Structure 1
Amino acid sequence: MAENRAQIKALESVSNQANWNDFVAPLDHIEERLGRLWATVSHLNAVCDSEDLRRAYEAALEKWTTYQTEVSQNRDLFAGFKRIEESRELDSLDLAKQKTVGNAIRDFRLGGVELEGAARQRFADIATELAALSNRFEQNLLDATDGWHLDLTEEVDLEGLPESSRALALQAAKLAGIEGWRFTLQASAFIPFMMFSSRRELRRKMYHAYTTRASDCGPNAGEWDNSVVMDRILELRSEQAVLLGYDQYVDYALVTRMATTSSTVQNFLDDLVQRTRSYARKDLEELAKFAAQEEPNTKLEVWDLPYWSERLRQSRYKFSQEEVRPFFPLPRVLEGMFEVARKLFGIVVRPAASKPQVWHPDAMFFEILDDTENVCAQFYLDVYARANKRGGAWMADCIGRYRKLDGSLQTPVALLTCNFAPPVDDKPSLLTHEDVLTLFHEFGHGLHHMLTKVDEPAVAGINGVPWDAVELPSQFLENWCWESAALDLISEHFESGERLPAELLQKLRDARNFQSGLRMVRQLEFSVFDLRLHSRLENKGKQSIQDVLDKVRRDVAVVQPPSFNRFQHSFSHIFAGGYAAGYYSYKWAEVLSADAFGRFEEQGLFDRDSGRAFLTEILEQGGVRDPLAMFVAFRGRKPSVDTLLRHLGLAG
């Protein structure tokens, strides 16, 4: 940072005669170098948490945020970019450089560069505090997740659980040095327990612990409570937006999105709620009826829903996720996924010739060869759940593509992280089909980052891509997980070597849209909650976060959880993950991805021309072009929500 500050000082002195080569290029160089360093630090904080690393990260985070604010409020740098924008040079620059200049000017303004006096300092202070609060939110959630478990010693308490779930719990108990079985709140343990355990009181216990993590309720009430953290985050975001002249935070956040107004987003969500809520009600009614038939006088509670849903799925389709698990050993799924990418985009993915230093023995390292057989990208893959690792799945930028000052090209590197059940005994990690979808999703993000042909770091890969378009490649790639030609590539029984049988494949596909109404409305509930939470200036001081969520549930949801449910306390996407006033992006991009896949439905699953077009029109473009224009160039028309609803079986 000291080196960067010194070089920025030198650039300030020439801002009144700024041009690309002598001003923007050297600034990009030092910013890219520092960004690479911080990407590594940030990743380690997420995947191998410890007290020492946590203290070091918190100290570094404050310095990092202070530096970022200094740069975003540097008026000499701002003036330099404006000079280029207003000069004749701009027209001579390529589109990537022009976009870099335009985005920089926009981001300087969003960073408070035009504020004066106390407002300017206040904006900087808010940025520092928000970074610390988001980190604290994530740490509280990690500690709360790791801080509770269910230990069982009687085999009768395992009734209904599949062998894979029992084996994982047995392994967890052995690692902890105890007898019996240990079920944690990590998704790989929690989800199958809720789906298969026939012990209702234990399901309630698990649900209660899971939905009260990091809150004022539950078995660890108040210990890692995010309540004050969330209130403060929302308060500061609102103040930040007002300082820049916006009425509410959502207006500030949407400046960089495809959907540029809150009314556009609200209308989009309202339309989907109106179209799909009746399907969700029908799903719930069918589930309640089925449970009552199987166990008369049973009152369906929320901790019963996964269990009875799985029972209904098995009854209706003669299918369970556990049936397909043996056919999806991780090594085979990876091999098949890479073959899908080869068929679509002409790339080859293979283990790297030499493995660099990694943070955990389970982390893998791969390289990608382009159609000229040159290494064009690399990525780390860390897929197993473990203690001291953040939950969920994500892709992060490790190193971006960049044409350096000496003309050499920097190879992009991605960080792909999941939380699947690890290998048990002599068995490989066996994935559910949901896990396979998650893996393809994150790989899609990775390809977006790694296959870019843009040389300017600010708009290469996912950089500069509007947040509500960034999910397009990830959700797009998921579609191949349902197609027989692709499933033949990614499935192989871990013992017999048999491909996924046609009968089982048909059951899988038949069950694809099982409870799609409930799943859609659940995601819409999250999206509307996020939007209202960041649009509530008129309710300032009157409505708590819980009040907002309760109202959203009355307006949108068909399932009403118990009063102790504290979902919001673990909603990392909006409080720590960059999706503030942006959770709608998943549904927004899902419309794009479903419609984009429609071309392959029409032309062929592995149609080479279509694959090449998606590569050149979407993946390679980075953040240079308008996402809607890119979509139209690929699809030949604007997107339609009807394709998504048809895929989900929710078309009227």
Structure 2
Amino acid sequence: MTDTTNPLLDTRALPRFAEITAAHIAPALDDALARHAATIEALVRDKPTVFADAWLPLERAEAELGAIWAAVSHLHSVADGPELRAAYQEGEQRLVTNSIMVGQNRELYEVFEALAATPEFAALPQADRVAVEHALRDFRLSGVALDEAARERFKTVSVELATLSNEFGSAVLDATDAWEELITDESDLAGVSETDKAMFAAAAEAKGQTGWRVTLQAPSVNAILTFAENRELRARVYRAFGTRASDQGPHAGQFDNSERIARILELRREAAGLLGFADPVEWSLATKMASDGGAVLAFLRDLAARAKPAAQRDLDELKAFAAEKLGIADLQPWDVGFASNRLRQALYAVDEAEIRGYFPVEKVMQGWQALLERLFGIRLQPRTDASLYHPDARFYDVVDESGQAIAGLYLDLFARPGKRGGAWMGEARPRRNDGDHVQLPVAYMVCNFSPAGPDAPSLLSHSDVGTLLHETGHCLHLLLTEVNRPSIAGTSGFEWDAVELPSQLMEDFAWDRQVLTAMSGH
């Protein structure tokens, strides 16, 4: 099999999304896993002690697997369907099993342990040394030191955890797509902006319905909970959204994740115990900056003690306003967004619906790109030859001040069925330079903003602008890395309790007057 017969095997180019089908996944993994296994067999047999011979072959094999799975998992997140989901779940089980088998391979561990013990190792570049040191740590966290029975049990537990995690996410997505409410009386949408009503009408038309279709996609939920005067509608949407994939709410038990949650907790505790950790918290913190669970709890409790008095004052003020001005004597969770928006209008003449009129997505993206150029000297150049998976998606070359491409970026901004909720950054390709191949980093940046309708533009809230900048920080962490070892480049191998730093720094620009001026225009 070659990259001409299976697009997933073309791992040095950008993913050929338009050609990829669920049927390509298993054969591509067969091929790449076979090469991966042959690489490990050769390393164990030859026992090289030079970095280029010991580390780089395995890195190449794992980069191929990573490129295949990055494309598959991205499609699973943004264009889910029954066939893709089944192939994804099967593939994930195979990869987890393979990862644990590699992590528990004592002979391979000894190869890298011997490499780290050579006099030449200390003279290697820091990134090379850290990559090997992290790998040795990960061998230990995969149970390489366990006896045979414990190793086998740890592998079984790890595969089941991966399966449960995948099933959990699929249940949430299915529950999100399953609920809708068709509004046939426009008065039920009193308070909702014309732009949001156009979004609801377009959603109804897409299903051959007449009226306004409310769903559990984030833009739909936010529009109802923030603007709808109909309190019962707000309550129904809030309950449906908050009880997705549970034993409560309108689809009680149908997509229920309760047993999965209990089983995940049980398995995490067992896995931690097998590795010699007191509990899953200690296991988790083995790769993080926090010293122990006590330090985490102390931080959170201190934060709560500082934040709660201000939050309580805000809540008391909101309750009083809701009772006096809105006739809501018993403020409920589904009232908070609506009452807060009305309070902002009353105190500061700030109306979220009016604000959104100043953030048409095209204007926001112009200001966003100007900010990237001003801060980092980078520009985004659209590519028309990149294969895409949906009409909403775009691809850009990230170029420096000299016009040289230094990275790539997929941008997918709008909510739709089959796409998981929230906003995230993902790695399509890591930065890698091993002398044999130079790979520039490529990131996915995914949001769930309100899409444009036939007669209405896509308008962002100020919170959406903050989300855009937040995910930008994560993308920049990958796109601007100068580390050539994929396992520790960008967000990979980075302490997860520090990974939010770049995103929080970028999010602060959502409150900068000059930046907002450049990103806004009615």
Q: Is the CA contact (8 Å cut-off) linking 1:332 and 1:492 kept in structure 2?
A: yes
Unaligned 5+ runs, structure 1: 494-652
Distance of 1:331 and 1:423 partners within structure 2: 11
Q: Is the CA contact (8 Å cut-off) linking 1:369 and 1:375 kept in structure 2?
A: yes
Query: C-alpha displacement at 1:54, in angstroms?
Result: 1.0
**What secondary structure, in the 3-state scheme, does the structure 2 residue paired with 1:468 have?**
coil
Q: Deviations over 1:461-502 (max 9, x none)?
A: 111110011111111111112112111221122xxxxxxxxx
Query: C-alpha displacement at 1:359, in angstroms?
Result: 0.9
Task: Name the structure 2 match of 1:629.
Answer: none
Change (3 A) 1:99 1:297: closer
Distance of 1:427 and 1:165 partners within structure 2: 9
RMSD of the alignment, in Å? 1.2
Q: Deviations over 1:330-374 (max 9, x none)?
A: 12211211111111111122212x331111111001111123321
Distance of 2:344 and 2:219 partners within structure 1: 20
Distance of 2:96 and 2:237 partners within structure 1: 38
Aligned-partner residue type, residue 305 of structure 1 = V
Change (3 A) 1:198 1:296: closer
Task: Name the structure 2 match of 1:492.
Answer: 521
Q: Is the CA contact (8 Å cut-off) linking 1:404 and 1:410 kept in structure 2?
A: no
Q: Is the CA contact (8 Å cut-off) linking 1:364 and 1:381 kept in structure 2?
A: yes
Change (3 A) 1:122 1:368: same
Task: Name the structure 2 match of 1:242.
Answer: 273
Task: Name the structure 2 match of 1:268.
Answer: 299
Distance of 2:402 and 2:94 partners within structure 1: 43
Task: Name the structure 2 match of 1:58.
Answer: 89
Correspondence 1:415-430 to 2 at 5 A: 415-430=444-459
Out of 266-275 and 341-350, give the one that drifted further. 341-350
Change (3 A) 1:458 1:118: same
**What secondary structure, in the 3-state scheme, does the structure 2 residue paired with 1:192 have?**
helix
Q: Is the CA contact (8 Å cut-off) linking 2:54 and 2:115 kept in structure 1?
A: no
Aligned-partner residue type, residue 368 of structure 1 = V
Distance of 1:448 and 1:335 partners within structure 2: 21
Correspondence 1:78-117 to 2 at 5 A: 78-117=109-148
**What secondary structure, in the 3-state scheme, does the structure 2 residue paired with 1:179 have?**
coil
Query: C-alpha displacement at 1:460, in angstroms?
Result: 1.2
Q: Is the CA contact (8 Å cut-off) linking 2:322 and 2:339 kept in structure 1?
A: yes
Q: Is the CA contact (8 Å cut-off) linking 2:425 and 2:443 kept in structure 1?
A: yes
Task: Name the structure 2 match of 1:255.
Answer: 286
Q: Is the CA contact (8 Å cut-off) linking 2:478 and 2:491 kept in structure 1?
A: yes
State whether structure 2 residue 416 is matched by structure 1 residue 386. Answer: yes
Aligned-partner residue type, residue 331 of structure 2 = L
Query: C-alpha displacement at 1:68, in angstroms?
Result: 1.0
**What secondary structure, in the 3-state scheme, does the structure 2 residue paired with 1:416 have?**
strand
Q: Is the CA contact (8 Å cut-off) linking 1:396 and 1:416 kept in structure 2?
A: yes
State whether structure 2 residue 43 is matched by structure 1 residue 11. Answer: yes
**What secondary structure, in the 3-state scheme, does the structure 2 residue paired with 1:327 have?**
coil
Distance of 2:36 and 2:326 partners within structure 1: 68
Task: Name the structure 1 match of 2:462.
Answer: 433
State whether structure 2 residue 314 is matched by structure 1 residue 286. Answer: no
Distance of 1:438 and 1:350 partners within structure 2: 22
Aligned-partner residue type, residue 459 of structure 1 = I
Unaligned 5+ runs, structure 2: 1-32
Alignment partner for residue 438 of structure 2, among 409, 434, 447?
Answer: 409
Task: Name the structure 1 match of 2:480.
Answer: 451
State whether structure 2 residue 165 is matched by structure 1 residue 134. Answer: yes
Task: Name the structure 1 match of 2:6.
Answer: none
Change (3 A) 1:373 1:39: same
Task: Name the structure 1 match of 2:388.
Answer: 358
**What secondary structure, in the 3-state scheme, does the structure 2 residue paired with 1:114 have?**
coil
Query: C-alpha displacement at 1:14, in angstroms?
Result: 2.3
Q: Is the CA contact (8 Å cut-off) linking 2:426 and 2:444 kept in structure 1?
A: yes
Query: C-alpha displacement at 1:326, in angstroms?
Result: 2.0
Task: Name the structure 2 match of 1:375.
Answer: 405
Q: Deviations over 1:439-478 (max 9, x none)?
A: 1111111111011011111111111110011111111111
Q: Is the CA contact (8 Å cut-off) linking 2:198 and 2:455 kept in structure 1?
A: no
Q: Deviations over 1:91-111 (max 9, x none)?
A: 110100110111011111111
Query: C-alpha displacement at 1:7, in angstroms?
Result: 1.5
**What secondary structure, in the 3-state scheme, does the structure 2 residue paired with 1:453 have?**
coil
Query: C-alpha displacement at 1:307, in angstroms?
Result: 1.2
| Aligned-residue identity in percent | 43
Q: Deviations over 1:207-241 (max 9, x none)?
A: 11111110001111100000011111111111000
Distance of 1:156 and 1:84 partners within structure 2: 72
Task: Name the structure 1 match of 2:34.
Answer: 2
**What secondary structure, in the 3-state scheme, does the structure 2 residue paired with 1:463 have?**
coil
**What secondary structure, in the 3-state scheme, does the structure 1 residue paired with 2:413 have?**
strand
Out of 392-401 and 342-351, give the one that drifted further. 342-351
Aligned-partner residue type, residue 43 of structure 2 = L
The TM-score normalised by the length of structure 1 is 0.74
The TM-score normalised by the length of structure 2 is 0.92
Aligned-partner residue type, residue 46 of structure 2 = V
Distance of 1:442 and 1:208 partners within structure 2: 28
Distance of 2:459 and 2:295 partners within structure 1: 42
Alignment partner for residue 210 of structure 1, among 241, 249, 269?
Answer: 241
Query: C-alpha displacement at 1:297, in angstroms?
Result: 6.6
* Greater RCO (CA < 8 Å, at least 6 residues apart): 1
Distance of 1:117 and 1:257 partners within structure 2: 28
Distance of 1:161 and 1:326 partners within structure 2: 13
Task: Name the structure 2 match of 1:191.
Answer: 222
Query: C-alpha displacement at 1:2, in angstroms?
Result: 1.0
**What secondary structure, in the 3-state scheme, does the structure 1 residue paired with 2:357 have?**
helix
**What secondary structure, in the 3-state scheme, does the structure 1 residue paired with 2:371 have?**
helix
Q: Deviations over 1:413-439 (max 9, x none)?
A: 101111011011144311111111111
Q: Give the 4+ runs in structure 1 shifted more than 2 A.
A: none
Task: Name the structure 2 match of 1:516.
Answer: none
Query: C-alpha displacement at 1:18, in angstroms?
Result: 2.4
Task: Name the structure 2 match of 1:466.
Answer: 495
Distance of 2:68 and 2:87 partners within structure 1: 14
Distance of 1:448 and 1:173 partners within structure 2: 39
Distance of 1:143 and 1:213 partners within structure 2: 9
Correspondence 1:215-614 to 2 at 5 A: 215-296=246-327, 298-352=329-383, 354-406=384-436, 408-493=437-522
Q: Is the CA contact (8 Å cut-off) linking 1:257 and 1:466 kept in structure 2?
A: yes
Q: Is the CA contact (8 Å cut-off) linking 1:208 and 1:218 kept in structure 2?
A: yes
State whether structure 2 residue 180 is matched by structure 1 residue 180. Answer: no
Alignment partner for residue 200 of structure 1, among 231, 235, 242?
Answer: 231
Distance of 2:102 and 2:251 partners within structure 1: 41
Task: Name the structure 1 match of 2:181.
Answer: 150
Q: Is the CA contact (8 Å cut-off) linking 1:29 and 1:405 kept in structure 2?
A: no
**What secondary structure, in the 3-state scheme, does the structure 2 residue paired with 1:286 have?**
helix
Q: Deviations over 1:177-208 (max 9, x none)?
A: 11111000111000110111111111111111
Query: C-alpha displacement at 1:296, in angstroms?
Result: 4.6
**What secondary structure, in the 3-state scheme, does the structure 1 residue paired with 2:260 have?**
helix
Task: Name the structure 2 match of 1:586.
Answer: none
Task: Name the structure 2 match of 1:170.
Answer: 201
Task: Name the structure 1 match of 2:4.
Answer: none
Distance of 1:381 and 1:416 partners within structure 2: 5
Size of the aligned set, in residue pairs, is: 490
Distance of 2:207 and 2:329 partners within structure 1: 37
Query: C-alpha displacement at 1:299, in angstroms?
Result: 1.4
Aligned-partner residue type, residue 36 of structure 2 = N
Out of 136-145 and 111-120, give the one that drifted further. 111-120
Q: Is the CA contact (8 Å cut-off) linking 2:173 and 2:418 kept in structure 1?
A: yes
